[in-house]
Amino acid sequence: MTASRSFYPAVISLAASGLLAVMCFPGCALQREYVRRGLLLDSINLQLQRIEQQQQLQYKELIQSRAEVLTLIEQLENRIGEVDAELGDIEDRIERIGRRLGAWQGTLLADSLNSQPAITKADSSVARLDPDVIYNTAYLDFTRTNYQVAITGFRRFIQLFPSSDLADNAQYWIGECFYSLNQLDSALTEFNRVREKYPDGNKVPAALYKMGLIYQLLGKGALAKAKFEEIVSGFPDSPEAKLAQERLKNWR
């Protein structure tokens, strides 16, 4: 009986030890799984943070690139407007030269009946006040960025030849000179004179378009929009009308 009583406690103790061991192993494995999953979640969170940072950086770069592209487009549109104005000016001068050549040929025919000294006297008088020479000299100063000198030359041309076909062109280029000097208020005044003094001239659409651009630069959106709309409605066939339509299409 004594041996039997000592045997059962030993068996019970061994069984308890084994049960505790069995219960311990699953608990340790579960703890390790929790640790492993925690580390995995931390790694995923870190990767997500890096991805988010990269996306934010890419978004900022995209916004900057878009702004640069819009700036380049605006500069290109401005240059297109200037080129169109220059081409129109060249066409006016070619037409004027053609008319002058025709008139000159008629003058030569008439003068051939007179004495040679009379021709020389007429030629010297024309040379002193040749409108094309004055105009072209002022325009050359403009292309060489001698804007103040060009303004003086164009004003002199208008003063001497107010009824010339190039008077409205000269007035327009005065505005362009002030625009290039970034004297925007003066540029507005001179461009507005193109419309007021030469309402039937071919430089009115170009002057109105430049006025719209200046109002945009000055933050006067309503006035700028009004100028672009005036071009589209009043001068639909002009090159500036297409530029104005593009401006209005993207208007906010």
pLDDT tens, position by position, 59-112: 777 777 666 665 566 556 656 666 656 666 666 655 555 545 444 444 444 454
**What is the pTM assigned to this prediction?**
0.56
What number of CA atoms fall less than 13 Å from residue 80's CA on the CB side? Answer: 15
With beta carbons less than 8 A apart as the criterion, state whether 202 and 88 touch: yes
44 & 154 share domain: no
85 & 30 share domain: no
What tens digit of pLDDT does each residue of 178-223 get? 999 999 999 999 999 999 999 999 999 999 999 999 999 999 999 9
Integer Cα distance of 53 and 74 in angstroms = 32
Instruction: Say what the pLDDT of residue 29 is.
Output: 73
Whose CA is closest to 126, among 109, 104, 145?
Answer: 104
Instruction: Say what the pLDDT of residue 86 is.
Output: 63
Instruction: Say what the pLDDT of residue 143 is.
Output: 96
Listed ranges 14-23, 47-56, 67-76, 240-249; the one with the highest mean pLDDT? 240-249
DSSP 219: T
First to last CA, the chain: 104
Integer Cα distance of 214 and 224 in angstroms = 8
Q: Which domain holds residue 101?
A: 81-249
What tens digit of pLDDT does each residue of 24-62 get? 545 667 777 767 777 777 778 778 787 878 788 787 777
CATH of the domain at 193: 1.25.40.10
Report residue 235 as tokens: 């001068």
With beta carbons less than 8 A apart as the criterion, state whether 211 and 227 touch: yes
Name the domain boundary from 64, 90, 114.
64
Instruction: Say what the pLDDT of residue 228 is.
Output: 96
Whose CA is closest to 213, among 87, 89, 82?
Answer: 82
Instruction: Say what the pLDDT of residue 106 is.
Output: 43
With beta carbons less than 8 A apart as the criterion, state whether 209 and 172 touch: no
Strand segments, DSSP code E, in the chain are none
Report residue 5 as tokens: 């009583």
DSSP 146: -
56 & 90 share domain: no
42 & 91 share domain: no
Instruction: Say what the pLDDT of residue 73 is.
Output: 61
Integer Cα distance of 105 and 138 in angstroms = 27
Instruction: Say what the pLDDT of residue 83 is.
Output: 62
What Å distances lie between residue 245 and 96, 133, 194, 220, CA to CA?
31, 37, 22, 18
10 & 88 share domain: no
Q: What is the largest CA-CA distance in the chain?
A: 168
76 located within any domain: no
Report residue 98 as tokens: 């053609």
If one counts the domains in the chain, the total is 2
Q: Where are the alpha helices (DSSP H) in 112-146?
A: 116-128, 131-143
Q: Which residues of 148-162 are buried (b: 16+ CB within 10 A; e: fewer)?
A: ebbbebbeebbeebe
Instruction: Say what the pLDDT of residue 203 is.
Output: 96
What tens digit of pLDDT does each residue of 105-159 get? 444 444 544 444 443 444 444 446 789 999 999 999 999 999 999 999 999 999 9
Instruction: Say what the pLDDT of residue 104 is.
Output: 46
Flag whether pLDDT at 224 surpasses 80: yes
168 & 120 share domain: yes
